[in-house]
Structure formats: structure tokens, C-alpha cells
Structure 1
Amino acid sequence: MIGTARLAANLKWLFTELPFEQRFEAAAAAGFTAVEYPDPYPYPVATLRRWLADAGLTQVLINSPMGGPGEVGTACLPERRAEFRAGLALGLGYAVELGASFLHVPAGKRPAHLSRDRAFACYVANIAWAAQQSRDSGVRIVLEAQNKRDAPGFLLDDQAHAAAAVEAVGADHVGLLFDVYHAHQDEPDLLAALTEFLPLTSHVQIADVPGRGEPGTGDIPWPAVFEALRAHEGWIGCEYRPHSPDGLGWTRQETR
């Protein structure tokens, strides 16, 4: 099993029966010591810092702004470069003020009129610029592949594609966000992919498949996954929709 001290509660997915501001205390009461969430921007950074401090929690990760309603990033869209840069500056400012280790920069969906090569080149150029902006900030930029069923058209649609972006940028503070839930649905061999790409991985997120529940509610071989993750020393984000009211109950029992 994985040590609970390394787990971060994703407050978009956990404790959703509560208003957002109450999820911090709920996470601490459940045994979490850290949190992540994609969208801090509706709240003043000083307010978020107070909620973190009052609950005794560490901020691990936020996303850069996603764009308009229903969008999942603008970084691969050449005509949105100015918007991307403004959003990246906002996200980086929030990450620094919150003490977050990671800023996830989502690639976005590629429209039909835009070739994959051009979209990828735009994404790499934007991430290289983001890497320059964040170099002395203490914040690492992370890139995530998303599965084709949940995010059709998402530019980074497998781990190799995301890894290629990391390697093309070539900055030591840019790495992968390896999401076990997404990888299990698109990789021919989850464990082989995890082993191959873990050296490039800065952050990990977990959920089971199907149903996006906590480990042990689906068919992912968690003992083998957690054994592979022994080589990962960083945080593991719990980005799942719990099937049990106890967000960490699965850590106290074996998962298949």
C-alpha cells in the first residue's frame, strides 16, 4: 500500500457534498495533509491561503486557466497565444502565492482545421515560454495526457505524446503529470507505461477504472501500481469520485 503522508486530496472530486471552503477542513479531518484543485481563480489568493493555513494543509497543484466554458486549455491554439500567456502569468502568480509545487498547463483540444503537428508545435513553444517564466519561481510545470473517451480531441492523448512535449522543451522543471486513470484507458500495458515514463514524472494522480472511484472499486491492479510508485518520491493526487464516505478508507485495506 501507499503511505497516506504522500496523498493529496483533490477538492474538485472529494468532499463535494460541502461548500468549497469547507472541503479544506474535511480533507484534514480525513487524514490528508495536502490538497490540489484545478481552478483557484474564483477566490482571492489570500482567502485560499487562509483556508489552507487554518486546516494545516499544503497546496500541491493547481491548473493554469482553462479558457472559456467547456474548454480544457488553450496552449495548443496558435490564435490564442496572447490569452494563454495572460492565463499562465495569472496561474503562476497563484501557484507562487499558494506555495504550490506544480502548475499543470493543460494542452487543450485540437480543432479539426488545425493539424496535429502545428498544434503540437504551438504547445511546445508555449510550454517553453512558460518554463522561462517559471524558472526562478520554485514552481514546476507539469503536462498531462488525457484519455480519448473522456476528452476526445485532447492534444496529448497518450503518455508518449506528453513525454515528447516534456523532452522537446528540455527544461529540468518541466515534467509529466502521470494520471493512472487516464493511462489505464489508453495504454496497452499500464504498468509498462508507468515504468517507462516514471523517470519523467513529477506528479501522479490516481482513480480507478471504470467509474473513477477510489482504488479498489475497479479493475486496476493497485498493488502492482503502488509497488511501481515506490520509485516516485513526490505527492500522489487523489482525483477520484469516492464510492465511500471515507476518502481514505481504501488505504486501510488491500486493493486488488
Structure 2
Amino acid sequence: MRFSANLGFLWADLPLPDAIRAAKNAGFDAVECHWPYGTASADVRTALDEAGLEMLGLNTSRGDVSAGENGLAALPGRVDDAQAAIDQAITYASEIGCKAVHVMAGFASGPEAHDTFAANLAYACAQAKPHGITILIEPLNRYDAPGYFLTTTTQAVDLIDTIDTTNLKLMFDCYHVQLMEGDLTHKLADLMPYIGHIQFASVPDRGPPATGEVNYDHVFNVISALGYDKPLGAEYKPNGPTADTLGWLRGR
């Protein structure tokens, strides 16, 4: 089994190129990030090439963070801003050889938000396809992101089926899914045709995967048995220096 370091949380105290090198030295097989836009794409590409790692994914901009925004794609009346964020993410991803972009929905609800999100996702998929980039959507739990538009895998699958394009997939974050729905291993089996990336963290504290209510040794074995062989994203919040939280990785 292979693992990806999510540099939005791991080594977050380091500049992104240095975090990439730290992940390589720690034994990760790939990296992923949240919002890399403050770092020149050329510097990230150089670090990735030097480390021999792939950046698996990045997020579209949250919007105006000071105003509490957490994504734009489901916000009625913000289509221009949402599509500008999508264009920015696809351009940056193509410059660093990243093959997935997570389009963040934002805080919204109702039929108009659904239609807005669907239209923006269709736009994102069309823009991403010539670059060989997959668009990901991720349900977030209501405790960490109350009011976020996309909260369940059922909702995500409905959107994927409605848009019906080959480069729209589900980001299955075990942490969020466990908090909202539970039944992780059955859901992984049922949803595998929709899944483009898998992430994990302990539940309920979002810490390293060696603690909490989810037995990740079992979950990882199930994922492997299902034939999924891409790196799994370690998107957890270290409860100390990142290097001190990697016992789970060294033991595998």
C-alpha cells in the first residue's frame, strides 16, 4: 500500500517545496496539498522533480476567507468568481504535473445552489479534460464545516451521475464519511467505481490514524482487497511535529 502526504496539514510549518522534500525523506510515495497558489509553480515543480514525487491533487480557492468563505462553486451569483478559481487551479495543476483538482462547493443550500454547482462542475470537467486532469468533489462533515453544500456520498454520486463525464470523481475522505455516514468498508466497496482519491485521519479528532474509533489497519486491507492501488492521502492534523506522528507509516 502506498501513501500520500497532504501538505496542507503535514509539515505545514515549512515552505511548500521544503515540505515536499520532507515527505520524500519520510518515505511517502506522493504528496497533495490544499492551496499552493502563494508559491510559484516552477518552484513546486522543481521540488517534485528533485524528490521524484507526484502532486496528486490541489483545491480550488476558498474565496474570501476573511468573510468566512470555503469554496465558491455552489454559490448562486458567484459563477464568474467560481470559474476563475477553477481556471486558476487547472492552470497551476497543469504547470506542476498534477492530475486532480478538488472543486470546493462552499456554504450554500437549496435547488439553486445544486444547479449552480452542477453547472460549474460541468465547466470544470470540460476545462480540465484537455489537460488529462480529473475533477474531484468531496463531502465535508457538518461538524467541521456547518452549512457546506456537499455533505454526503449520496449527494456526490447524484451529481456525478447527472453530469455524466469520465473525469468527475468522488474524493472519499474516510474521516468525513465516518462522521456523516459511518459503514466505511461497505461504502468503499459500493462506491469504488466513483472514487478518484481516498483520504484518511483518525475519528473524531482528525489526528494520526493510529488512534480513534476507526481501525485503519482493517480499512487499508479492505481498500487493497478491492483492487485500489493509488496512494492514500494522509490528511490528518499532527498532534506535534509531523515527524513524530509517523509511527503508523514506519510500521507498514
TM-score of the pair, normalised by structure 1: 0.90
Q: Distance in 1 between matches of 2:85 and 2:182?
A: 35
- Aligned 8 A contact 2:16 2:39 in 1: no
Instruction: Give the C-alpha shift of residue 73 in structure 1.
Output: 0.7
Distance 1:215 1:188, change over 3 A: closer
In structure 1, runs of 5+ residues without a counterpart are none
Preserved CA contact (<8 Å) 1:30 1:247? no
Task: State how far apart, in whole Å, the 2-side matches of 1:170 and 1:41 are.
Answer: 30
Contact 1:30 1:246 in 2 (8 A): no
Match of 1:199 in 2: 193
In structure 2, how many angstroms separate the alpha carbons of the residues matched to 1:233 and 1:163? 21
Q: Which amino acid aligns with 2:69?
A: E
Shift of 1:199: 1.7
Q: Which residue does 2:184 correspond to in 1?
A: 190
Shift in Å, 1:51 = 1.9
Indicate if the aligned counterparts of 1:14 and 1:247 stay in contact, CA closer than 8 A: no
Tell me the secondary structure at the aligned position of residue 178 of structure 1: strand
1:91 to 89, 92, 104: 89
Deviation of 1:17 (Å): 4.1
Please say if residues 64 and 103 of structure 1, whose CA atoms lie closer than 8 Å, have aligned partners that are also in contact.
yes
Q: In the alignment, what sits opposite 2:215?
A: 221
- What is the 5 A alignment of 1:130-209? 130-209=124-203
**Deviation for aligned residue 1:252:** 4.1
Q: Distance in 1 between matches of 2:196 and 2:234?
A: 15
Deviates more, 1:223-232 or 1:174-183: 223-232
| Structure 1 residue 169, shift from structure 2 partner | 0.9
Shift of 1:247: 4.7
Aligned length: 246
Whether 2:25 is the aligned partner of 1:29: answer yes
What's the offset of the Cα at 1:100?
Answer: 0.8
Aligned equivalents of 2:251, 2:39: Cα separation in 1: 37
Q: Specify the code of the residue in structure 1 equivalent to 2:150.
A: L
For 1:90, the aligned partner's letter is: Q
Distance 1:194 1:103, change over 3 A: same
**C-alpha displacement of 1:27:** 0.8
Q: Deviations over 1:165-193 (max 9, x none)?
A: 11111111110000000001010422222
The answer to whether the aligner puts 1:65 opposite 2:58 as a matched pair is no
After the TM superposition, which of the residue ranges 189-198 and 55-64 deviates more from structure 2? Answer: 189-198
CA distance in 2, matches of 1:16, 1:105: 21
Partner SS for 2:70? coil
Counterpart residue type for residue 91 of structure 1: A
Letter in 2 for 1:107: A
Q: RMSD between aligned alpha carbons? A: 1.6
* Aligned 8 A contact 2:160 2:168 in 1: yes
One-letter identity of the residue aligned with 2:104 = P
SS of 1:135's equivalent in the other structure is helix
Distance in 1 (CA, whole Å) between partners of 2:98 and 2:35 is: 13
Q: Secondary structure at the match of 2:197?
A: strand
**Structure 2 CA distance, aligned partners of 1:92 and 1:64?**
9
CA distance in 1, matches of 2:245, 2:99: 23
**1:75 positional shift:** 0.3
Q: Which amino acid aligns with 1:7?
A: F
Label 1:247 to 1:58 Cα distance change in 2 as closer, same or farther (>3 A): farther
Alignment of 1:56 with 2:52, yes or no, is yes
State the shift of 1:242 in Å.
Answer: 2.7
